[in-house]
Structure formats: structure tokens, C-alpha cells
Structure 1
Amino acid sequence: MSVMTPIAEPPELKRYSGLQRAAMLMLALGQEHGASIWEQLSTDEIKELSSAIAQLGRVPANVVEHLLISFSGEVSSMASLHGSYETTERLLRGVLPGEKVKDIMEDIRGPSGRTMWDKLSNVNESVLAAYLKNEYPQTVAVILSKLSSDHAARVLSELPQDFSTDVIMRMLRMDTVQKEVIQEVEQTLRTEFMSNLSRSQRRDPHETMAEIFNALDRSSEEAMLAALDDRAPEAAERIRALMFTFDDLANLLPAAISAIVRNADKREMALALKGAPDPMKQLFFSTMTERAAKLMKEEMGSMGPVRARDCEDAQTAMVRLAKSLADRGEIMLVDPKSDDGLIY
């Protein structure tokens, strides 16, 4: 009887963790040989291993061969394995019930969180409150008790006052919730709320185009909008309404302009203002100290002639800075989509 010569450990193997090596083995074993192993794993272990498979990417054949030395004759003919969400789902469907596979894939696919409660914590409080206000107060109490305290507080503040008070009373009187009740609530949220949310939150393509147009240089932006005016005037008008441009900075409160001045790159701001109309320049100067305004004017004067494109790029950078500050809640922007004025 011949003895198989051990294969030296490939150097690439060192970059894979134990969990990743287990994922490679299960992917290589496939449905037929791996079924009995999958059946011995808990749901959490299956999720962890499935997530590792889904993120595995390509694995060199010599690494797989080393891990599956007993099957080296079969595996060595492979160029590689490719772990992906699709191959993971196909593999699981061969060994697990369909509903269980669906739950597992939902958990490992989404960046929003590992569990249903993680996912729910990433849902806007107004959206969540709009759904919960139609549920039984006891059900809402169970759901809020599983969320982080700050998120639960924001959701409560969005609910009708009488209803929220009822929910609070239920939470105060709530004993340990049975596991079956939690599972039933999770299933309802998954089938009714999260599935509807994913369909309803498909992004308006006009918003995407407005962001793209914001990133264009001025001449390209004007040319494309003019062309769109001819073919789809309503779409062009909507995109214009959704765009936030350098000119819109003139509508900001002085405190917001001051925050932009403090955070902006001074050279970039000088370049942006050099190509701006005088009222815009005066607006920015008015938020600076006399000395800072003098230095900024000197900086602009020392630049000499500059390309219009460079000024436009600097103005685009200023708009990005304003949006970034608004996203962090440091300033308020005027919303061109709203007649009411200000958003946070």
C-alpha cells in the first residue's frame, strides 16, 4: 500500500483565519458531502460560517488542496473556488429548509445589521413610528424594549401622545417576554415591515441625477440640462429643484457661512470666491474678522488670472463641505425642495 506524500503548507494559507479555512472546506465539500455537517451546526454557527463563505472571494487551488488533502486528486484540477452570496445560497438550499435559508441570507447580506433588531435600529424613527402607530401598544412595547434607548426615545416622540403614553405604561409593567412571542414579532416585522420598507425606499432616480449634475463642471451641467429641457422638461425641472449649488450658499444663515469659513481650506475658498459674484464675496467677508477678510482678499488678488474651471471645482468643493457639515448637524441648509425653508 502506497503512502501519500504530505503536501507542504502553502504560504498563502497563513492569511486565512480558522473560520475562513472552515468556510473553504464547506464550500469545497458542497451539498452532498457537507449536508451531514451543516445539520450538526446551530443557527448562529450556520450564520457565521455562511457569512464567511459569502465574503470568501477566490481561493487558490493549492490552498484548497492542502485543506482537503484526502481529496487532492479531485481538488487539484480546480483553478479556484469562488465564494459569493449566490454560491452560499445555492449551497444552503440543498441542505436546509427554504425559510431557514431565507432568514440566514437576509442576515448575512445586509449591511444594516446582523439581527432583525440591528436592522430595525437603522430605520428612520419617523418611518418606524408610522408603522408602529397601527400596532397594538403591547406589541410596540416589546419592539421598543429591544431597541437601543436613544432610538426608542426618538420613536416614542414620533408617536401620538396618548398612544406613546400607553406604550410606556406597557413597558413599565412588562415582565420577561417569552421567546415565542419575540420570535413571532420578529417574523411579523420581517415579512410585513422590512419587506415593504425595502420596496418603498427605492431611491428617486431624479435625486441620483441631481447629485451627479452637482458634480459636473458648470458648462457640462448647463449643456446637459439644456438638452434635457428639450426631451424631458419635467425631469429637468425636478432635477434643478433637487440640486444644491454654490449659488444656494447665499441663502444660508450667517452662522452657517461662518462654519463653512472655519472649516474650509483657505486657498480653496479664495479660489471659489474669486469666481463668485460680488454679493457672494461680501457675504463671506462679512462673517470674517477684519484681518481675516483682508488676508482673503490679498490671497485672491495674488492669484492673478485663474481658469474658470478651477474656480468651479473649488466652488463644488465648498458645496460638498456645506453638505458634509449639514449631515453632521453642524449647520442648516435651505432645502430647495421645500417651501418651508430650513432642514437639519
Structure 2
Amino acid sequence: MSNVDTTQKPAFDVGKLDGVEKAAILLLSLSEEDAAQILKHLEPKQVQKVGMAMASIEDLNQAKISAVHRLFIEQIQNFSTIGFQSEDFIRRALTAALGEEKASNLIDQIILGGGAKGLDSLKWMDSKQVANIIRNEHPQIQTIVLSYLEPEQSAEILSQFPEKVRLDLTMRIANLEEVQPAALQELNEIMEKQFAGQAGAQAAKMGGLKAAADIMNYLDTNVEGQLMDSIREHDEEMAQQIQDLMFVFENLLEVDDRAIQAILREVQQDVLMKALKGADENLKEKILKNMSKRAAEMLADDLEAMGPVRVSEVETAQKEILSTARRLADAGEIMLGGGGGEDFL
């Protein structure tokens, strides 16, 4: 008779897994619909990390699944089949969670992610690392790289450069309209020689005012303000065009009530209070009218009793709410309008 009590002790040591791997295994053991509902509530970067982990899992077995289940829930059902056609699963789950258009690019990144080369490798690197890789490249190459990557990552990379370089690159991005496929392929090969990587989907259309505005949206408020002032000094028309395409906290006034309510459901009360501390009165009224009467009264009382708040804290809170709004818009749950009446997404 065996001395091992398999009903009490998992055969797999779940401690060998990090948090992202555990989340990936748990999602793979769910239905696509349930996985999609969970993914909807994650930030884009979290979806990328978990999705890449899902795509890279090769030795998924019942012992590992059971160990993860024991960690997350007290009682679990026995899953007879989990399917493990992971690429198909990821495609369907992410499409259900994010919508076909948004999911398409992300799926390509995830499926390629573990062994991606060339430009696509940069998508999975730390922003400081990317900045160091392209720091000594020609500004035109830096411009193409920043236009190729997601705006949030590009903003983090741009923040690593001196103010003068940020100004030059942002204006180059705004002026960029397209890159010839041959030039993009050549750059991809150059990047591939510098570090191990795989050529990803190529898009000749990149850059432009909208790309610059998207990157500006993700910059720290102080950096964003300095950069906008510098652009205005060099090219007032370009600065105004970028400003018109940006979505800032005050633009929430232009968002419909249903979208405001969806945003409020995702925002913590203390974050909302700090954000509204420095908000326009009309925007405060719009927010309050989209809350229940009791919740609105409590928030109004709390705001009145609230002491002074650092400007940096107000700006951080507003950026957090804007990030939530963009995430919901990316998922197709709400629509945002940019300045000048153009669609933000």
C-alpha cells in the first residue's frame, strides 16, 4: 500500500510557479467565456503578460492544474477535458474580451511573444531596456520604433530621454506618415542582429499626429506639459493639432452618461475624490449626476470636508481614471471623444 496520500497532497509543487503562470493555468482551465470575463477586468499590460504565459505553457497536466485550483479555491470540479489548443483558445478568449480589432494586434504579439524577434521583441522588453537599445540609433530609427510600439510603452521609453530629444522625436512622430515596407523590413533585420528576436506583422502606415497624441496621453503630467510647451514654441499649429487629438480629464464632459457610469464602476472612491478635487465644477456635476442620490451626497460631503491635496496626487488620480476610460474604450465597452469632435478610438 502506498504511503503517499494523494488526496491530501498535490503531486505538483505550486510554489515553483510565479503569479502570472498561476493565473495563466487557471484561465486555461476555464471556459473561453469565463476567461474572457476575467480578462476584461485586467489592464492591457496584464493581459499581455498573462496571454504570453498562456501561449508559452507546454507541459500543462492535471497535477499542475489541480495544484493551482487548490491554491485558489477550496473545492474544485474535475475537468475531464481542458482542450489545450492554447493558440485557438487565446484567440477566442481575447477576441471575446477585447473585441476583434483590439484583440487582433495583441494576439499577434502574444503568439509571437515568447520567441519574437526584431521590432516585435521590443514589445516584451522593459521600457528602460528599449530606451538603451535605441539610444544611439539615428533619430529616424528611434521615430519608427516609437511609432511601431503601443502608445503607453512608447511614452515610458520617451520619458527616458532628455527633454530636447523628447521634443525632436515627438515632432518627428507627428510628421511621419508612412514607412516603406522594404525600409521597415531592413530596420527589423537590424534590430534582429542586435538581439535575438522574429519579424512580426509589418504595417507601413504608422506615426502621424494621432500617434503623437496617443503617446502624449500616457506621459507623466509634468513631462507632457513641458513637451507640449516646447512643441508649441517650434510649431504652434502642430501643438494645437496634437492637443485637439489628445483625451484629457476635462474631455470626460463630452462622454455620454452610460460611459461615465461604466467608468465609475471601475474607479475606487479615494481615487475619484482626489481627481475631482481639481476638476471643473461642470465635470463634478456630471460625475455626481451619474451616481445614485445617496452616493452622490456622500461624495459631495466628503469633497467638502477633504483637506488640501497635492497637485501631483490630483494629476495621478486623474491619469488613473483616464487609463481606466481608455481600457474600457479599447475593449469596446464605451466610446470616448477627443477634442475637436473626433473619435478618440
TM (normalized to structure 1)?
0.40
TM (normalized to structure 2)?
0.40
**Over alpha carbons, which structure has the higher Rg?**
1
Q: Which structure's relative contact order is higher, taking Cα pairs within 8 Å and 6+ residues apart? A: 2
